[in-house]
Amino acid sequence: MEENIKVGGEKKARKRIYPERLTVDALDGVAELEKLCFSQPWSRKSLELLTNEGIGVGMVCRKDGIVCAYGGMMCAVDEGQITNIATHPDHRRQGYGKAVVEALIKYAKNNHLESISLEVRESNRAAIELYSALGFKVEGKRKDFYTKPTESALVMVLKVK
């Protein structure tokens, strides 16, 4: 299935992407992606939490069998907390990040969560644009939340219900 998106005034067809649930067999690939995309990557051991039903959930996209994008969310009572979203640098701007966040939102709806929150570096325009396009609103700021390099975080929230 294809959807039409507007790029530079022209319509461009984009294949619909269907992320899969993160399972143990994809953890090595996701850990590699974490190392590639973040200065303080989650370890494989920490990522395992995202495969424990009721604790966390992960969504993964593969290209030619290799993990090219993933997103994780921890779940506590009626709230989801997005831990990380990452797309391999060679596969950005192809809709993978959006598909992963949409899959997490769908999971939240199906599992009766009230809201999803996340922190994002305030200079991270790509991620802020992505979350805003999906309805997340800035609800606060945590000063110097990040290290390597030190930077404040914006807190963004999506009401799911």
Ligand X SMILES: CC(C)(COP(=O)(O)OP(=O)(O)OC[C@H]1O[C@@H](n2cnc3c(N)ncnc32)[C@H](O)[C@@H]1OP(=O)(O)O)[C@@H](O)C(=O)NCCC(=O)NCCS
C-alpha span between 95 and 20 (Å, rounded):
15
Q: Is residue 84 near ligand X by the rule CB under 6 A?
A: yes
Helix/strand/coil for 58: strand
Q: Is residue 125 near ligand X by the rule CB under 6 A?
A: yes
Distance of closest approach, residue 129 Cβ to ligand X, in angstroms = 3
Among 104, 127, 154, 158, binds ligand X (CB under 6 A): 127
C-alpha span between 15 and 58 (Å, rounded):
21
Cβ atoms of residues 21 and 71 within 8 Å:
no
Distance of closest approach, residue 104 Cβ to ligand X, in angstroms = 12
C-alpha span between 75 and 57 (Å, rounded):
8
Distance of closest approach, residue 59 Cβ to ligand X, in angstroms = 12
Q: Is residue 92 near ligand X by the rule CB under 6 A?
A: yes
Size of the site for ligand X (CB under 6 A): 22
Which is nearest to 63 in space by CA: 24, 85, 95, 31? 95
Give the binding range for ligand X (CB under 6 A) out of 20-28, 47-55, 73-81, 92-100. Answer: 92-100
Among 57, 59, 85, 113, binds ligand X (CB under 6 A): 85
Position 108: which residue type? Answer: A
Tokens of 107: 């999971």
Binding site for ligand X (CB under 6 A): 5, 37, 69, 84-87, 92-98, 120, 124-127, 129-130, 133
